Structure 1
């Protein structure tokens, strides 16, 4: 493996970040969406 093969491109970093976000932030995002839906329902009533 030479130096060029070791370097990560921005696409590699993006993929790593997206994978991390999917595993850690998914429950928080779902909770946030659920709270927004509940708020909208209460406002309309």
Structure 2
């Protein structure tokens, strides 16, 4: 389910706020692992 929500966020089909509370930490971690923020935008350092 985490990978599904990551894909939905990346493709602008869902927002991070729509992710179930119990999955938010894992979804955020996976997004950050691929260099994206909670909105699916690239993290610029």
Between the two structures, name the one with larger relative contact order (CA 8 Å, sep ≥ 6).
2
* Interval containing the TM-score (normalised by the shorter chain): 0.3 to 0.5
Asked which structure has the greater CA Rg, the reply is 1
TM-score scaled by length of structure 1: 0.34
